[in-house]
Amino acid sequence: MYSRLLILTLGTFSVGTDSFVIAGILPEISRTLGVSISATGLLITVFALSYAVLSPVVAATTAHWPRKRLLLGGLVVLAIGNVLTAVLPSYGPVLASRAVAGLGAAMFTPTASATAASLVPPEKRGRALAVVMAGLSGATALGAPLGTVIGSEVNWQATLWFVAVLAVLGAVGIGVLLPAVPPAPAIGLRRRMAPLKDARIGFTLLTTVLVFTGLYTNYSFVAESYDRATGGSGTVLAALLFVWGLGATVGNLGAGRLTDKADPRWIIATAVTVAAVDFALMPLTNRHLATAVVAVFVWGVCGWASLVPLQHRLITVNPAHATLTIGLNAAATYLAVSASGLTGAAGIALLGAHRLSLFGLGFLVLGLLSSAVATRLIRRGAGRAVAPQT
C-alpha cells in the first residue's frame, strides 16, 4: 500500500516543484526572454490560475475515466508543459506553456488525493492523504531549492527539464505499481456540481481560501519581510525557506496521523490559531535570524497542518463526490496562491514589509471564523449533500 502511495507522492513532488521553483529562476528567465521581472512573474500566476480554474472542471468532466489513466495523463501533460517552457523562444508562447503545465497539475493532484483515500480503510485515510501531500510540502524544502541550484549552475531551461524528468519518473512508477482504480459512476455535469450547494463544503472551501491567502500573503514577499534577519543575503534567505519547507513537511505528516485519531476541526482550529499568534509576533521575530528561524518553522508547520484535515473533512462530508471536492479544494488553494501577490502588495502599501504578517493575520482570523461556521453546520447536519444518481 505504501509503495503505491509513495509513487503518488513522487507525482505531487513534481507538481509542487513546478509550482514553487519558477520564483527562484525568475531573473534568469526575465533576461533570456527580454521582459520585466513583473511580466515574468505572470508565469507563476498563469500556472496557479490554470490549476485553480481547471481543477473542478477536470474533476467534473473526467469522472468516468479510470483513475490510473487520468493520473498518467496529468503527469504527461505536466512534463509536456515544462518541456515547452524550456524550448519555446519567446514570452507569449512560454506564458501559454505554463497554462499547459497547470492543466497537468489540475489533472493529477486532486485525483492523487482521492485515489490515496480510496486505497486505505477509513481509519487510515488521514495518513494516506498526508503521505501524498508530503510531495507538495517536500517540494518546498527540497524540490524548489534543488531546481533553483540547477538553474544557477546550468541554466533555467535545465530546471524545467528537471521537473519534466520528475513527472516522467512518476508516470512510469504509476504505470508499473498502481493498480487499476475504477472510475466514479457516470452522472451528469449538473449532478456533479451538486456539492457546491452544500453549505458545509462551501464554508470548508472558504476556510481554505482565507487561510492560505493569509499564509501566502507573507510568503510572496518573504525576502522583503525578513531582510533585517537575512541582511539581504540570498543564501540566508534560501536557508530560511528550507526551514519553512521542513516545517511544512513536519506539519503535513503530523497532521495526517492526528487526523486519523482526533476530530479534524480541532486540528484545523489549533493549527490556524498558533499560526495567527506566530504572525502577530512576526514584526518582532523577523528582526533577528535566531527568532526568524523559529517563526518560519512554526509558520510552515501550522500552515500545512491545516491542509490534510480540510481535505479529510470534505471527503467525510460527501464521500461520493470526493474527487470533485478535493479538486475544488486544490482550486481554492491555488486561488489563494495566485491572489497573494496582490494581497501582499496591498499589505506592504498599508503596513510596510516588516509588518506584512499583520495583514495576513486578518485572513487567518477570518479563516478561523469560516471553519467554525463549517463545524457548526456539520454538527447540525445542515446543507445536506445531494446524493449522486446514475
Mean pLDDT across the chain:
84
Give rounded-to-5 percent helix, strand, coil for the chain. Answer: 85, 0, 15
Do 175 and 203 share a domain, yes or no?
Answer: no
Q: How many other CB atoms sit within 10 Å of the CB of residue 53?
A: 18
> Among 186, 213, 245, which residue terminates a domain?
186
How wide is the angle at C-alpha 343 spanned by C-alphas 306 and 111, nearest 5°? 40
Whether 266 maps to a domain, the answer reads yes
For residue 169, the model assigns a pLDDT of 94
SS3 164: helix
> Which of 186, 220, 251 delimits the end of a domain?
186
Residues 16-75 pLDDT 10s: 889 878 876 777 888 899 988 668 878 888 898 888 888 778 877 777 788 888 999 999
Asked if residue 389 belongs to a domain, the reply is no
> What is the domain extent for residue 266?
193-382
Are 172 and 314 in the same domain? no
**Are 246 and 153 found together in one domain?**
no
CATH number of the domain that residue 219 is part of: 1.20.1250.20
Has residue 197 been placed in a domain? yes
For residue 342, give the nearest of 358, 360, 329 by alpha carbon: 360
* Cβ atoms of residues 136 and 99 within 8 Å: no
Task: Write out pLDDT tens, residues 204-256.
Answer: 999 999 999 999 888 767 777 888 998 877 678 778 888 888 898 888 888 87
> Are 173 and 61 part of one and the same domain?
yes
What total number of domains does the chain contain?
A: 2
Lookup result for grid cell 491567502: 213
Q: Residue 387 falls within a domain, yes or no?
A: no
The pTM (predicted TM-score) of the whole model is: 0.74
Task: Tell me the mean pLDDT in the region 264-277.
Answer: 92
Looking at the structure, tell me whether residues 201 and 267 fall in a common domain. yes
Please indicate, yes or no, whether residues 145 and 237 belong to a single structural domain of this protein: no
Mean pLDDT of 325-353: 81
**Is residue 328 predicted with pLDDT exceeding 50?**
yes
One-letter amino acid for residue 297 of the chain: F
Same domain, 129 and 222: no
Q: Which residue, chain included where needed, has cell 527568532? A: 291
CA distance 16 to 280: 28
pLDDT of residue 191: 63
> How does residue 5 score in pLDDT terms, banded at 50, 70 and 90?
confident
Q: Among residues 186, 205, 240, which one ends one of the domains?
A: 186
Residue 220 lies in a domain: yes
Same domain assignment for residues 9 and 149: yes
**328 shares a domain with 202:** yes
Shared-domain flag, residues 346 and 216: yes
CA distance 221 to 150: 23
Question: Under 8 Å CB-to-CB from 292, ≥6 apart: which residues?
Answer: 226, 229, 230, 240, 285, 286
Same domain, 30 and 76: yes
Is pLDDT larger for residue 38 or for residue 117?
117
| Separation between Cα atoms, residue 232 and residue 230, nearest integer Å | 5
Q: Is residue 341 part of a domain?
A: yes
Instruction: Note whether residue 390 is domain-resident.
Output: no
- Both 56 and 119 in a single domain? yes
